[in-house]
């Protein structure tokens, strides 16, 4: 988690308003704490509310309000628990008919937080039907707007999370909502979106780390394209999103339970061996660099150095027993926090140590060969590389959009999120697996090894360098 204070430019120095960004980079989301120096409002808080309380403590302010832009599909909200802990008013779209205690908010409603700070709700359907944005107003008017999944940096929130049947209608709403915000705010107003920093909730990849409304008027398709062109572009760019999203909205609308970060039961090396032998999901939290050197047979590489929470949540069947394995307790605790954000906070067990220390039998230890795209280029030319068998299958586990943009000649494409159910499509023989940077390739290799494949080589390299490395690419 990283955070920084945003004030001054685009803010309201005369009124003393400050907006702190509370970033959850692993999910590509941001929460916000806005304050006048005495009281604060939280926008779209994550489930681990201790970070929010700490931010308020650093500013020495009292949280008096919490608001949600929408019922989130990519994480479990901490808003309800935060309101219980702090006594703050909890604002949620009235149209969502939430069953828990809250302040129902509708278009145009103003929350007066202090003499110098107000929050104005603006109906901005598109990402969801009942989506609200919140204009932050100081003593001299609008400072900026918290846009949730509406207007993002250079893009907008995706419109298919409520089902493909609604995606076109919501795309039209998204276009109108973006223009509604642009019409009501000055060029200097800041934009503070919740999504768009790697989140799958963005329709297309976002650009930039900050923005004003004036900047977005020039670059954002919702503001530069007509409705028809925007809708076509938005729908054409949509790709698959994580399977765990199906559970988030339901949990958030029902009212999430408090986070549980208690340490899981400890597993010794013999219990760990039993879980691996039984085919359970045992997760190696170390980096892929450490994984390929040495790991336990059957363990799944999902290192904390990548999007562990997104891929684990996407790949597992919901409710599957999970055992976390790290070198230290801090690694396990970090993984717990990350996974609790998507509602996974019950674990079968946890273990700590290096593979050599956790192996009940030395025969459990494995290693995985790696290669570069330069090596793959040589292999395509039939050059026998020292210690590396030539590929009989080149497996691309990137997303559909990535593959369509550019791919290796004759590569078999199975997105990582489909691999476990399509593994039988892969013919026998040596597999060289690649992705965009090496992280997903290592995950794929571990999943393949778990099925008994021992003939997998990880291309641990950046796909953007493939063509320059001499790899033969498919014709565009």
CATH number of the domain bearing residue 311: 3.40.250.10
What is the distance between the alpha carbons of residues 440 and 421, in angstroms, rounded to a whole number?
Answer: 16
The predicted pLDDT at position 382 comes to 87
Whether 134 maps to a domain, the answer reads yes
How far is Cα 375 from Cα 416, in angstroms, rounded to an integer? 22
Reference 316, options 260, 366, 247, 258; nearest CA is 247
Is the domain of 336 the same as that of 376?
no
Q: How many helices (H) and strands (E) does the chain have?
A: 16, 23
Strands (E), 186-338: 190-193, 281-284, 295-296, 300-301, 322-326
As a whole number of angstroms, the distance between CA 106 and CA 121 comes to: 7
For residues 134 and 245, membership in a common domain is answered with: yes
Indicate whether 337 belongs to any domain.
yes
- Whether 259 is in a domain gets the answer no
Domain end marker among 360, 379, 405: 360
For 126, the 3-state DSSP assignment is coil
Q: What is the extent of the structural domain holding 139?
A: 3-254
Helix (H) or strand (E) holding 134: strand 132-138
Beta-bridge mates of residue 114? 117
Contacts of residue 54, defined as CB under 8 A and 6 or more positions apart, other chains included, come to none
Domain end, chosen from 338, 360, 382, is at 360
Q: In this structure, are 190 and 149 located in the same domain?
A: yes
Q: State the pLDDT at residue 383.
A: 85
- Distance CA(160)–CA(171), nearest Å, equals 9
Q: Residue 355 has which token pair?
A: 């593979």
Would you state the pLDDT for residue 15?
A: 47
Contacts of 405 (CB under 8 A, 6+ apart): none
Q: What pLDDT is attached to residue 476?
A: 55
In a shared domain, residues 80 and 198: yes
What's the CA angle centered on 377, arms 376 and 383, to 5 degrees? 85
Residue 476 lies in a domain: no
How confident is the model at residue 375, as a pLDDT? 95
Domain CATH number, residue 176: 3.60.15.10
Q: Report if residue 38 sits inside a domain.
A: yes
**Claim to verify: residue 43 and residue 161 sit in the same structural domain:** yes
Give one word for 204, left, alpha or beta, with left for phi > 0 and alpha for psi -120 to 50: beta
Domain boundary among 332, 360, 388: 360
201 and 312 both lie in a single domain: no
| 186 plus 301 within the same structural domain | no
In tens digits, the chain (476 residues) has pLDDT values of: 333 343 433 333 334 899 999 999 999 999 999 999 999 999 999 999 999 999 999 999 999 999 999 999 999 999 999 999 999 999 999 999 999 999 999 999 999 999 999 999 999 999 999 999 999 999 889 999 999 999 999 999 999 999 989 999 999 999 999 999 999 999 999 999 999 898 999 888 887 778 999 999 999 999 999 999 999 999 999 999 999 999 999 999 999 999 999 999 999 999 999 999 999 999 999 999 999 999 999 999 999 999 999 999 999 999 899 999 999 999 999 999 999 999 999 999 999 999 999 999 999 999 999 999 999 999 999 887 778 999 999 999 999 999 999 999 999 999 999 999 999 999 999 999 999 999 999 999 999 999 999 999 999 999 999 999 999 999 85
Residues 160 and 59 in one domain: yes
User: Has residue 471 been placed in a domain?
Assistant: no
- pTM beyond 0.85: the answer is yes
Whether 475 maps to a domain, the answer reads no
> Do 215 and 337 sit in the same domain of this protein?
no
300 and 221 part of one domain: no
Cα 345 from Cα 361, distance rounded (Å): 30
Both 285 and 410 in one domain: the answer is no
Tell me whether residue 473 is in a domain: no
User: CB-based contacts of 197: which residues, under 8 Å, 6+ apart?
Assistant: 23, 25, 28, 29, 30, 206
Q: What per-residue confidence (pLDDT) applies to 3?
A: 36
């Amino acid at each position: 988690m990283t955070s920084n204070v945003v004030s001054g430019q685009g803010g309201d120095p005369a009124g003393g308003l400050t907006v702190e960004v509370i970033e959850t980079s692993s999910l590509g989301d941001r929460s916000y704490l806005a304050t006048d120096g005495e009281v604060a409002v939280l926008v779209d808080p994550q489930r681990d509310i201790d970070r929010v309380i700490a931010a308020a403590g650093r500013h020495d302010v009292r949280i008096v309000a919490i608001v949600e832009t929408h019922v989130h599909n990519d994480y479990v909200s901490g808003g309800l628990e935060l309101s219980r802990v702090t006594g703050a008013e909890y604002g949620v779209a009235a149209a969502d008919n939430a069953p828990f205690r809250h302040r129902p908010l509708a278009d145009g409603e103003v929350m007066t937080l202090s003499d110098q700070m107000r929050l104005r709700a603006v109906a901005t359907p598109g990402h969801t039907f009942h989506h609200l944005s919140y204009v932050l107003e100081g003593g001299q008017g609008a400072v900026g707007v918290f846009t949730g999944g509406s207007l993002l940096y250079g893009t907008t929130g995706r419109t298919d999370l409520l089902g493909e049947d609604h995606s076109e209608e919501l795309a039209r709403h998204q276009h109108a909502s973006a223009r509604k915000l642009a019409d009501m705010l000055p060029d200097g107003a800041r934009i503070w979106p919740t999504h768009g920093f790697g989140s799958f909730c963005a329709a297309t990849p976002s650009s930039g780390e900050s923005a004003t409304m004036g900047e977005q008027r020039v670059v954002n398709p919702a503001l530069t394209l007509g409705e028809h062109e925007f809708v076509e572009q938005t729908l054409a760019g949509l790709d698959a999103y994580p399977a765990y999203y199906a559970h988030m909205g339901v949990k958030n609308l029902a009212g999430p339970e408090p986070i549980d970060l208690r340490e899981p039961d400890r597993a010794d090396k013999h219990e760990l061996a039993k879980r691996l032998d039984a085919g359970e999901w045992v997760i190696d939290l170390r980096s892929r660099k450490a994984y390929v050197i040495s790991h336990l047979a059957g363990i799944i590489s999902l290192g904390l150095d990548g999007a562990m929470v997104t891929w684990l949540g996407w790949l597992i069947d919901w409710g599957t027993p999970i055992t976390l394995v790290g070198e230290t307790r801090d690694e396990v605790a970090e993984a717990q926090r990350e996974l609790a954000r998507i509602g996974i906070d019950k674990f079968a067990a946890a273990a700590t140590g290096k593979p050599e220390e956790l192996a009940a039998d030395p025969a459990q230890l494995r290693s995985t060969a790696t290669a570069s795209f330069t090596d793959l280029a040589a292999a395509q030319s039939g050059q026998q590389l020292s210690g590396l068998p030539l590929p009989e299958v080149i497996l691309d586990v990137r997303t559909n959009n990535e593959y369509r943009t550019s791919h290796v000649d004759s590569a078999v494409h199975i997105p990582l999120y489909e691999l476990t159910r399509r593994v039988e499509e892969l013919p026998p023989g040596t597999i060289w697996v690649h992705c965009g940077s090496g992280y997903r390739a290592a995950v794929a290799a571990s999943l393949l090894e778990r099925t008994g494949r021992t003939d997998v080589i990880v291309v641990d390299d950046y796909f953007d360098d493939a063509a320059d490395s001499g790899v033969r690419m498919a014709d565009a």
